[in-house]
Amino acid sequence: FTYKQVVPSTYPTTISCFSGLTNKVACYVEQQNIVYLYCMDDREEQITINDFQSRPTSLCISKNEEILVVGLMSGSIRVYSTKSGKMIKQFTAHKTSVTKVITTVNNAFLASGSLDGSIKFWDIQNFQLLQDIDYTTQTINGKLIPEQSNPEITDITFNYQNSWLFIGNVSGLLLVWSLQKMQFLSYFQLQKKIISIHPHQLNKILCVSVLNMSYFIDLEQFQIIHQFNRQYFKFFTPLKNNILVGIRQNGIDAMDMANQFQIMDNSECSFKQYQCAAERKTTTVPQILVLQCGPDGVVDIDVCSLKHMKYFQEFMTDEQIQKIQPLDPALVKDVHHVQNVPVSVNHNTLQSQETLVKKTPKKALNPKSAPKDHCYQNFQPQTGQNQNQNLQSFNTKHKIRVKFLQDKLLMLKQVDKRQPLESALQLQNLELFQQIYSNYPLQKISLQLATQIIRFFSLQVQLSTNLKAEQLRFITQTTAKLQKCFKQVCQDAEFILKNNRDISAEERYEKAAEFKQALQEFTGSIKFLLECGDQQVKMIVAAYLGQ
């Protein structure tokens, strides 16, 4: 049913987008070169933005609905306040037209893609470039990613932990980039233009729609486990179960992911004038909003409520339906989003966060040692027995993951009791680290672990925008204790190396050198707070540097 109707102009809307909570919607009318920003509940007047010198080519409203990000044909990105409509920041992002912009769930980072295939990762707080992702120079399994006839980026999205970035282009290239390891984990050449990419919020599965086809990929093995000849504009997984909702030109389908993606129910309706869609998280029962725009300029926002689908009517009572809560990432306090660092910081001691969300620890996937079939250079759809085996294997693991993650979201249950400090470092959780460290004997900390701790502190100082004074005091005091504790160890390592050049002496010296380098990096990071921190922070930093 139609939820809302607006008429920005007598001309058709060219591009549009919903906000993260679907309380706001933005529409761009090319003939007028104006962006109209509407509030869904009509409590606020519409805002018009008409100061563009270059034509907008992509829109994104942040998850907290505070900023509107506009990508321009000139390659620049503009950031506006959604409350006042005033421009906050403008910067040059790409050499060609910006085709996609997207923000992370915690509103800390921004990813952008362009017409020439370049992808960049930004810090929203200061709009600093953190990573420039160039797939033309990257290798997987020792081989370069094939050159693309049309590298234009069509879709970019983050996984649930914001530790991976999924990238699709017009030529059908699907890339999986690790923001922590700063390398490509895998790629798939799907031959057709990629329409949309959707990672399941709890399960290791990626849903990809291309022209006239849909693919489903197991992200643990990087294998395509299922495909069918249906194109969807967008996928959603609104509940903590196996239901996958897909929007197509002639309706909406609800599929069972645990049963070979069979369609359980569908709603036949016309979305021929589809522009964008979003999941509405502000309702008890999840709803899907679909925006359509006709040639007369009228914008219709339609609603599909999952309460009215057969799955709910046949298997659940009204009382049970009312208890269903949509999965809102902003409410999962235990999940800590990845905060990346410039290339100069050493990443060797950090392990990927995604390997810790499994019940039984497994060895992280190393692209260099991965089987050759992890690299789909010339993908051919799987048929017959191999596909059925992949699907059955995935379904088994899928059910185990769902049960586990529903019971234990997400953090404390993952701590290895034998190595609690290491687990806290891998989870990049400062509060958890403080709790464990307070009851952890200092004599049990090795020189190598001390190096990891100090590098972890450097990341917290560099990237945390809301670091409290108490946390900073803990960081500086702990670093000073570790420095004092291992000072003699480092001096002994240098003395032994000079008088006894054997392998063990060299190993000890290398560990001592890494420890000293970590201290230097930490000192450089903390000196920055003397310029931008408040008075209390400056006093804490000065006290540490005085030691």
Lowest mean pLDDT among 73-87, 271-285, 364-378, 529-543: 364-378
List the one residue out of 337, 13, 373, 37 whose CA is nearest residue 162: 337
Mean per-residue pLDDT of the chain: 75
Tens of pLDDT, residue by residue over 126-185, are 888 888 888 777 777 777 788 888 889 999 998 877 788 999 999 999 999 888 878 888
Give the residue, 313 or 47, on which the prediction is more confident.
47
Q: What is the mean pLDDT of residues 275-280?
A: 84
Average pLDDT of 301-317? 66
Lowest mean pLDDT among 83-97, 427-441, 488-502: 488-502
Pairing of β 183-189 and β 375-376: parallel
pLDDT for the residue 112: 94
Q: What is the pLDDT of residue 380?
A: 46
pLDDT at residue 43 is higher than 60:
no
Q: Is the pLDDT of residue 50 over 50?
A: yes
Range from 171-175, 176-180, 249-253, 463-467 carrying the lowest mean pLDDT? 463-467
> pLDDT tens digit string along 1-32?
777 788 888 888 888 888 877 788 899 999 89
Region of residue 97 (left: phi > 0; alpha: psi -120 to 50; beta: else): beta
Q: What are the residues whose beta carbons fall under 8 Å from the beta carbon of 420, sequence distance 6 or more?
A: 436, 440
Say which DSSP state 365 is in: P
Is the pTM here over 0.85, yes or no?
Answer: no
More confident residue, 547 or 187: 187
- Token reading at 487: 């000072």
What local confidence, expressed as pLDDT, does residue 312 receive?
55
pLDDT given at position 409: 40
Joined tokens for residue 469 = 């004074």
Q: Could you report the per-residue pLDDT of 403-437, keeping only the tens digit for each?
A: 544 443 444 444 445 567 777 777 677 877 887 78
Higher pLDDT, 50 or 23: 50
Q: What are the Cα distances from residue 397, in Å, to 203, 204, 391?
A: 10, 10, 10
Least confident among 80-89, 352-361, 521-530, 533-542? 352-361
The per-residue pLDDT for 349 is: 32
Q: What is the predicted pLDDT for the residue at 210?
A: 92
Percent of the chain at pLDDT exceeding 70: 71
Query: Where residue 400 falls among pLDDT bands split at 50, 70, 90?
Result: low
β-partners of residue 113 are 100, 119
pLDDT band at 381 (very low <50, low <70, confident <90, very high): very low
| Among 200-209, 392-401, 444-453, the least confident range | 392-401
**Mean pLDDT across 74-96:** 91
Distance (Å) of CA 103 to CA 19, 56, 100, 156, 505: 10, 17, 10, 10, 48
Q: What is the pLDDT of residue 393?
A: 66
What is the side-by-side strand order in the sheet with 76-81?
A: 56-61, 67-72, 76-81, 87-92
Grade residue 202 by pLDDT with cuts at 50, 70 and 90: low
pLDDT in the model for residue 386? 59
Amino acid 324: pLDDT? 42
The b-or-e profile of 224-256 (16+ CB within 10 A means b, else e) is: bbbbeebbbbbbbbbbbbbbbbbbbeeebbbbb
Name which residue leads in pLDDT, 398 or 296: 296
Does residue 410 have a cis bond before it (omega within 30 degrees)?
yes
Lowest mean per-residue pLDDT among 267-276, 338-347, 417-426: 338-347
Per-residue pLDDT, averaged over 354-375, amounts to 39
